[in-house]
Structure 1
Amino acid sequence: MLVEDNEEVAAGLSAVLEVFGWQSRHELTGDAALELLDDGATFDLILSDIQMPGVNNGIDVAEKVRRMWPKQAIALMTGYADEFERATSIGVTILSKPFNIDDLQALLHSAAPATR
């Protein structure tokens, strides 16, 4: 699942994910992503921006996912250095925007189920 409020960024990232053989579902807010997870949806990886509108930003999503679904793979993306401290305390991978395509591919490889 890709959680990104900027639709242009999401479209580009979804296209890259597809090239790498991944399907993605896009949600515009952390609130929508958490609702989807609460409804029982499962994903190989949740890749979420940190800065988003709504009640739950990406860090909030990561904290709740870690608490409720501790085995769920999740990574955060941000272009803001001041968010790194709180984000790193959760223990998730953080991609700094703009990130290198090789970093994304390494993240996907580490999150891939054994069947990929």
Structure 2
Amino acid sequence: VLIAVSDTGTGIPANMLTRVFDPFFTSKGPGKGTGLGLSMVYGFIKQSTGHIKIYSEEGHGTTIKMYLPPGKTAAAVGEGVTPSTIEGGHETILVVEDDRLVRDYVLAQLHSLGYVTLQAANAAEALAIVATGKAFDLLFTDVIMPGKLNGRQLADEVSKTRPDLRVVYTSGYTENAIIHHGRLDSGVLLLAKPYRKSDLARIIRKALNS
């Protein structure tokens, strides 16, 4: 199966085309992009034993072609299945995410679930909020962020004054700050990007109820 996505944008310079699928490679500048979007697409395609190609011409646009093998089993058809209830709450959550679009998405989903939110674009902003003494019940933080502290280091710093801190980490990339030898550190809750609202709701409740 071939899925092709094309745009009429500015195109991608030839010297960048060989790097667009590299994790953390971005041309957007510090704090404006994670460089994980296309690398996640690449990983999904390869895990599905597929292939992906990109063609771009500056001033005209870009086309990405994704080749996926057909499924070998019939799709399961569920009849009379009741979707699980998505449980929300009214606690306050400090959301730390450097990508504005992702942060806005998370905030919108949390608000729709009934939660109150505080927001920060990096660890420094989050620590400034903590320093004001504002109360919150959960820290929801990206792992990889620009600045001196990553998400794990931020949580460790906040825990010095709030030892009962509940934390949910989120990341689009498996890295050693959270995962060691393929396993999560004990007691760590990690939500992999991309995720659905139901996944977000479930892990938030799991952390708050613990």
Q: Tell me if TM exceeds 0.5.
A: yes
What amino acid does structure 2 have at the position aligned with 1:109?
A: R
Matched, 1:74 2:167: yes
Alignment of 1:53-68 (within 5 A): 53-68=146-161
Higher relative contact order (Cα pairs below 8 Å, separated by 6+ residues): 1
Higher percent of residues as strand: 2
- For residues 67 and 91 of structure 1, do their structure 2 counterparts lie closer, same or farther at Cα, with a shift above 3 Å needed? farther
Residue 123 of structure 2 is matched in structure 1 by: 30
What amino acid does structure 2 have at the position aligned with 1:38?
A: A
Deviations 1:76-96 (CA, angstroms, capped at 9, x unpaired): 100111243269337331111
What amino acid does structure 2 have at the position aligned with 1:93?
A: L
C-alpha RMSD over aligned residues: 2.1
Contact 2:166–2:207 at 8 Å: present in 1 too? yes
* Structure possessing the higher radius of gyration over alpha carbons: 2
Contact 2:168–2:191 at 8 Å: present in 1 too? yes
What amino acid does structure 1 have at the position aligned with 2:189?
A: T
Looking at structure 1, the residues matched to 128 and 184 of structure 2 have their Cα atoms a distance apart, in angstroms, of: 24
Q: Unpaired runs of 5+ in structure 1?
A: none
In the TM superposition, residue 22 of structure 1 has moved relative to its aligned partner by 0.8
Residue 187 of structure 2 is matched in structure 1 by: 91
Higher percent of residues as helix: 1
- TM-score, structure 1 as length reference: 0.84
Q: Unpaired runs of 5+ in structure 2?
A: 1-93
Matched, 1:103 2:199: yes
38, 41, 47: which is aligned to 2:140?
Answer: 47
- For residues 67 and 90 of structure 1, do their structure 2 counterparts lie closer, same or farther at Cα, with a shift above 3 Å needed? farther
What's the secondary structure of 2:160's corresponding residue? helix
102, 108, 113: which is aligned to 1:9?
Answer: 102
- TM-score, structure 2 as length reference: 0.49
- For residues 65 and 90 of structure 1, do their structure 2 counterparts lie closer, same or farther at Cα, with a shift above 3 Å needed? farther
Contact 2:122–2:146 at 8 Å: present in 1 too? yes
What's the secondary structure of 1:68's corresponding residue? coil
% of aligned pairs identical? 28
In the TM superposition, residue 111 of structure 1 has moved relative to its aligned partner by 4.0
